[in-house]
Amino acid sequence: MRNAERRAALVDAAIEVLADQGARGLTFRAVDTRAGVPAGTTSNYFTSRDELFTQAGGRIYQRLTPDAVTLASGLSGLRDRQRVVELVHELTERIAAYRTG
């Protein structure tokens, strides 16, 4: 597994730990266990819990950001109540599809 792939897997595991155990449960050891990697792996990729939190937040943002087509369609057309309702439904679907986040 390449470093970028391993780093992404660790961030995803951190998000799962946060979802299951909350912020207090987010430890390097818990992330190692969730990711199924040897003990100490997470600390080799992240210098602190704060960095891990920041990376997890960035990953959640990345996963919930609409693709270019969806974003462009959201900015076009009428900007009325119905359009806002459609955009909220689309956002809710993205959130529901990424339950851990």
What are the DSSP calls for 18-71, one per residue?
A: HHHH-GGG--HHHHHHHHT--TTHHHHH-SSHHHHHHHHHHHHHHHHSPPHHHH
pLDDT for res 36: 96
pLDDT in tens, 27-84: 999 999 999 999 999 999 999 999 999 999 999 888 888 888 877 877 777 888 888 8
- pTM for this predicted structure: 0.76
